[in-house]
Amino acid sequence: MISLDDYIIQNFDNSTEDEAVFDIIKNISSGIIQVSEILLGNNNKNIFGDQGAKNIHGEDVQKLDIIATDIFVKELKKSESIKIIGCEELDELQFTDNNSNLSYTVMMDPLDGSSNIDVSISIGSIFGIWKHIPGDINSILLPGNKIELAIYSIYGPNTVLVFGYKSVVCMFILDHFNSKFVLYKDKIKLPDKPKYYSVNESNYSTWDKNIQEYINNIKSNLSLRYVGSLIADFHRNLLKGGVFLYPEDTIKNKSKLRLMYEANPLAYINKLCGGLSVSNGINTLDIIPENIHQSVPLIIGNASLIEQL
């Protein structure tokens, strides 16, 4: 069994950048273990339910959203190279007082799938990490194709950590008894023959005609699976092959998923696995962001399925 630490030592070099990135992975993985242990704890009654406030997107904030935010902000600040943290639950960017020569920005959705917390369905955390030029505010909002590292976790029947760095995507499973991640799968690639399409079909009437036609066509060859936690739907389709869609609501002129801490990190990992993603007709990773909380439509999965669209 190869632990996350061993994997890192064995597979990457000793450059300052690699060391900084691995320090970030270790601190995020420590946060993931903490969230996972809270979910498994015998005193977890207090973690369910609304916190009583709304976030910048007008959504009810759950207690676990806040718990996870606090854990990850604390862990991320331990990485000397992290200078800026953007988060779904925090209106403004947080600036750390770290002073390494390297400067990274982290964008995170600390608890994805909030509506599934109270009903014991898989939830997760998503992180995108970019390098920025110190002191240059214009270098903070970068497109997804400039991501250095993307990580996500899933808290489900087991706790999973997936990261994409350089050209490799690997998946680890948490050994709860020893509180450490163990390698499950290395060099992940999307299967050639996709199985699933995933979309909230109750929104059908709000979609553009092209999307409606596309769904009508693909459903004859694919089976429908929809969890309602982006991260769980994405992860299943990554391993089994498929397409996930959250199209724009053309009646309200509104998209739901957020570019910087949902769409981009997953689009980056999906690309490393041989897949493709589009938002508003262009590659999701090419979008120049306007602000940290920007929403975008997202269609992501096997390249062959996206190309049909």
Q: Residue 4 or 126: which CB sits closer to ligand AHM?
A: 126
Contact between 265 and ligand AHM by CB under 6 A: the answer reads no
Question: Which is nearer to ligand AHM, 34 or 237 (by Cβ)?
Answer: 237
| Residue span binding ligand AHM (CB under 6 A) among the ranges 113-121, 137-145, 186-194, 287-295 | 113-121
Considering only residues 5 to 64 of the shown chain, the ones binding Mg ion according to CB under 5 A are none
**22 or 72, CB closer to ligand AHM?**
72
- Residue 77 CA to residue 84 CA, distance in Å, equals 9
CA pair distance 136, 138, nearest whole angstrom = 5
Decide if 83 contacts 64 (C-beta within 8 A): no
Q: Does 37 bind ligand AHM (CB under 6 A)?
A: no
How many whole angstroms separate alpha carbon 211 and alpha carbon 172? 35
Contacts of 213 (CB under 8 A, 6+ apart): none
Residues 217, 203: Cα–Cα separation, whole Å:
17
Is residue 198 involved in binding ligand AHM (CB under 6 A)? no
> What residues between 231 and 260 interact with ligand AHM by CB under 6 A?
246, 256
148 binds Mg ion (CB under 5 A): no
> How far, in Å, CA of 16 to CA of 266, rounded?
25
CB of 136 to ligand AHM, least distance (A): 29
233 binds Mg ion (CB under 5 A): no
**Choices 111-119, 148-156, 184-192, 282-290 (CB under 6 A): range interacting with ligand AHM:** 111-119
Q: Which is nearer to ligand AHM, 75 or 88 (CB)?
A: 88
Residue 59 interacts with, from ligand AHM, Mg ion, none (CB under 5-8 Å by kind): ligand AHM
Name which of 75 and 109 has its Cβ closer to Mg ion.
109
Q: Are strands 123-131 and 180-185 parallel, antiparallel or unpaired?
A: unpaired
* Strand ranges for the chain from DSSP E: 50-54, 60-62, 82-87, 90-95, 104-112, 123-131, 147-155, 159-165, 168-175, 180-185, 196-198, 223-224, 242-246, 257-258, 276-279, 282-283, 295-296, 298-301
Among 34, 103, 105, 114, binds ligand AHM (CB under 6 A): 114
Measured from the CB atom, the residue of 37 and 59 that comes closer to ligand AHM is 59
Task: Write out the binding residues for Mg ion, residues 80-109 only, by CB under 5 A.
Answer: 109
122 binds ligand AHM (CB under 6 A): no
Binding of residue 113 to ligand AHM (CB under 6 A):
yes
Tokens of residue 32, six digits: 């993931």
| Footprint on residues 106-135 left by Mg ion (CB under 5 A) | 109, 112
Q: Is 240 left (phi over 0), alpha (psi -120 to 50) or beta?
A: alpha
CA distances from 82 to 86, 129, 227, 231, 269 (A): 11, 9, 33, 24, 21
Note whether 112 binds ligand AHM by CB under 6 A.
Answer: yes
Closest CA to 35 of 273, 231, 242: 231
Q: Is 109 in the site for ligand AHM (CB under 6 A)?
A: yes
Rounded to the nearest whole angstrom, what is the least distance from the CB of residue 261 to Mg ion in the complex? 7
**Interacting residue ranges for ligand AHM, rule: CB under 6 A:** 59, 88, 109, 112-115, 200, 228-230, 246, 256
**Interacting residue ranges for Mg ion, rule: CB under 5 A:** 109, 112
